[in-house]
Amino acid sequence: MDIEKTLLPGVLLIKPKVFADDRGFFYENYQAQRYKEAGIDLEFCQDNHSRSSKGVLRGLHYQKPNEQGKLVVVLQGDIFDVAVDIRPDSPTYKQWVGVTLTGENHHQLYIPPGFAHGFCVLSDTADFYYKCTAPYSPKDDKGIRFDDPEIQVQWPLECTPVLSPKDEQLPLLCEVDPSDLPTMEQA
């Protein structure tokens, strides 16, 4: 597998080796030792799978406490996946990276604990699969608005995104109590 560092320290684009022929393809989605050697030395404890329609935008989500690292991949369809550094004590605070993940390219994105995460669906539907380093905790579930003007994520959407009622009501980053944001030490 090839590992590419992004502009945000710890956020990694992973390109697994895919073996394809006229019958289909095979690739190793996860192998603990290889990921440990790549610097992803956290234990994953929960896997999630979601399906969304074109124009759906989920995020920007994070947990505090019980911060989650995520290893994300698209099984079918195309998404634009985003990680945002929301740690006020980080030199890359408020910066973001975005990558296109597809069921065809099999690329993965690793988002370490302490980052907000979101994605939008570019294809008619997309199946999104991700491993988490901490279990989902409803009481610790937090988020910031996808269109926060301080962050300025450039979402590649052709129309107004479809949001959940929860995501429609997320605060701007400047409205979040600093104690509700992760720090470099905690993450």
Helix (H, G, I), strand (E, B) or coil at 178: helix
Residue range 127-183, pLDDT digits in tens? 999 999 999 999 999 999 999 999 999 999 988 999 999 999 999 999 999 999 999
Give me the residue spans of the domains in the chain.
2-180
Active-site residue 130, yes or no?
yes
Given 27, 106, 130, 136, the catalytic residue: 130
Active-site residue 106, yes or no?
no
pTM of this prediction?
Answer: 0.93
Amino acid (one-letter) located at 14: I
Q: Which fold has domain 2-180?
A: Jelly Rolls (2.60.120)
Given 27, 35, 61, 106, the catalytic residue: 61
Separation between Cα atoms, residue 84 and residue 62, nearest integer Å: 10
**Count of residues making up the chain:** 187
